[in-house]
Amino acid sequence: MVQMRVSGLLFLLLATIGAEARAFSQIQHWITDNGARVYFVETHQIPMVQFVVGFDAGSARDPAYLKGLSNIVKGMVEEGTSSMDGDMISTSFDSVGAEYSSGSGRDIAVFELRSLSEEAILDGAIDVFGDVISRPSFPEDAMERVRQRVLIGLKRRDQSPGSVASRVFYNRLYEDHPYSHSPLGEEQTVSQISRQDLVDFHEEFYVGANAVLVIVGDLGPEQARIRAGQIVDGLPRGANPAPIPEVRGLNESVVLNVSFPSSQTHLLMGQAGIARNDPDYFPLYVGNHILGGNGLISRLATDIREERGLAYSVYSTFSPMKEPGPFIVNLQTRSDQAELAEGLSMETVRQFVERGPDQDELEAAKSNIIGGFPLRVSSNGKIADNVLSIAFYGLPLDHLATFPERIKDVSVEQVKGAFQRRVLPGKFLRVRVGSG
């Protein structure tokens, strides 16, 4: 239990700082016989290695009547294979000190194994990891348990006004688009999921053609090829899934008030933003840094927190995904001052869109992003995160190497133009959750 000046940042940093800054230029890439795309970064300073498998199998792939299916599949793969039950699987990781974890969002389902790089230890963990991903048995009893855990998770999420605000925001913004529902699903649909649904989903999406594998750490190129094979060779080739439907977005401003027994009101204001491959990505990235992305010195933090003491946390963010993820301005404040804070932050956004950044603000933001570049690739963990996003979104292999140049090229006019095209405060969705 620690109190911090800015929320979250420390925990981001814990995973951030460390290894070689030049590693990004050395991504080795190959495709396995069954179509899995492998990305390998060799780092030998620490005797450890990370394997990250990503499938285009997030909640955007849930059938509309089975919202939450992708999440249950993700949670169920470690509960049994043809030769092991869940306990045996966990024991085989834990007994060599390997760490298995998994996660899923709207776009991606991710499985990660972190292990010491010693051969004998890897031998113990890798085969099980490969089996878990490619040959899960989905035992019925474990399935009931996982389902119940998800149902509790849904309720627990609804204890938090921030989570409720986010759920309501996505639901309304994306309506019938598959980004609309939470990756956890909904009580009713989660209750209906059957074992056969898991089998079918796994068969369709957990395939070589739909897989990326990132390896970062203390392996030679030959070893990396062998280990990659042990992890993904069990996947059938399969096919790439169909594209996710286009996002329509809102045509007019919408305001939703949700009553919640909290002392603060949570405000989410925004709209559909950008896809990961959007040509305006860099100007919007730099612009948002100035508007509400850069800690306490962004415009929103200055106007809302530093000058008026209205909020602890206030920021804006783009969440680029396969299809346009949202642009969101987020703040929480005591309910009796929510209206004031909402008005002020909307005004800050409007002014920024209308006038763009000042030249010196732009330079300060660029020097922060460029100067901070070594920090983004300074540990195995951070390199793995960056390479996974290159792999999954199909960015060029030199994305990291050219990143500082692309930032440097951004001009005031580009930021202003991009914001005027893409951020339309007059058509924002505004969600207020609280007792105000």
Partner 1 sequence: MKKSLVLLCLFSVVAACATESARKPAAPDAYEKVLNNGLKVLVKPDTRAPVVVSQIWYKVGGSYEPDGKTGVSHVLEHMMFKGTSTTAPNEFSRIISALGGQENAFTGRDYTAYFQTLEKSHLETAFRLESGRMHDLVFDKAEFEKEVEVVKEERRSRTDDSPEAVTYERFMAAAYTESSYRNPIVGWPSDLEAMRVEDLKSWYSSYYAPNNATLVVVGDVEPVEVFELAEKYFGGIPARDIPGIVDRGERPQSASRRIEVRAPAKVPYLLLGYHVPVIATTKDMEDWTPYALEVAAYLLDGGKSARLHSELVRKQGIASSTGVSYDPLARKATIFLFSANPSQGETVAAVESAIKEQIWIMSEETVSDEELERVKAQIVAGKVYQQDSSFYQGMRLGLLETNGLAWQLGEDIHDRLRAVTAEQVREVVKRYLRESNSTVAVLTPETDAEG
Residues 280-299 that bind partner 1 (CB under 8 A): 294-297
Instruction: Find the binding residues for partner 1 in span 137-156 (CB under 8 A).
Output: 142, 145, 148-149, 151-153, 155-156
Comparison of 247 and 331: residue with beta carbon closer to partner 1 = 331
Considering only the stretches 63-71, 258-266, 270-278, 318-326, report the one whose residues sit in contact with partner 1 under the rule CB under 8 A. 258-266
Distances (CA, A) of 325 to 61, 98, 278, 284, 423: 15, 34, 11, 13, 13
From CA 9, how far away is CA 4, in angstroms rounded? Answer: 9
Could you give the C-alpha distances from 344 to 304, 347, 386, in angstroms and in order?
Answer: 7, 5, 35
CB 375 → partner 1: shortest distance, Å?
6
Positive/negative CA dihedral, 113, 114, 117, 120:
negative
- The CA distance from 55 to 277, in Å, is 18
Asked if 342 is part of the footprint of partner 1 (rule: CB under 8 A), the reply reads: no
Q: Considering only residues 92-131, where is the footprint of partner 1 by CB under 8 A?
A: 93-99, 114-116
Q: How far is the CB of 304 from partner 1 (least distance, A)?
A: 10
Interacting span for partner 1 (CB under 8 A) from 5-13, 103-111, 222-230, 319-327: 5-13
Pairwise CA distance, residues 68 & 283, whole Å? 35
Binding mask 377-416 for partner 1 (x = CB under 8 A): xxxxx-----------------------------------
- To the nearest whole angstrom, how small is the minimum distance from the Cβ of residue 367 to partner 1? 5
Of these, 33, 119, 140, 158, which contacts partner 1 (CB under 8 A)? 158
> CB–CB of 376/386 below 8 Å?
yes
Q: 123 φ, ψ to 5°?
A: -55, -40
392 token code pair: 């999954």
Determine, following the binding rule CB under 8 A, whether residue 338 of this chain makes contact with partner 1. Answer: no
HSE-CB for 135 with a 13 A CA cutoff: 16
By CB under 8 A, residue 84 contacts partner 1: no
Q: CA–CA separation, 92 vs 98, rounded Å?
A: 8
Among 30, 65, 83, 87, binds partner 1 (CB under 8 A): 87
Residues in 187-246 that interact with partner 1 by CB under 8 A: none
The DSSP H or E segment spanning 38 is strand 37-42
- 104/61 Cα distance (integer angstroms): 11
* Rounded Cα–Cα distance for residues 187 and 166 (Å): 17
Cβ 171 to partner 1, closest distance in Å?
18
Using alpha carbons, select from 425, 265, 251, 418 the residue that is nearest to residue 334: 265
CB of residue 240 to partner 1, shortest distance in Å: 33
* CA 118 centroid distance within chain: 31
Among 332, 345, 348, 414, binds partner 1 (CB under 8 A): 332
Applying CB under 8 A, which of residues 368, 387, 414, 415 lies at the interface with partner 1? 368
Q: Applying CB under 8 A, does 26 fall inside the site for partner 1? A: no
Report in angstroms how near the CB of residue 153 gets to partner 1 at its nearest. 8
Stretch of 46-54, 128-136, 239-247, 248-256 contacting partner 1, by CB under 8 A: 46-54
CB of 17 vs partner 1, minimal distance in Å: 4
Residue 173 CB, nearest distance to partner 1 (Å)?
23
Burial of 192 (0-12, 13-18, 19+ CB in 10 A): middle
Least spacing, CB of residue 99 vs partner 1, in Å: 7
Answer for which of 14, 64, 239, 340 binds partner 1 (CB under 8 A) is 14
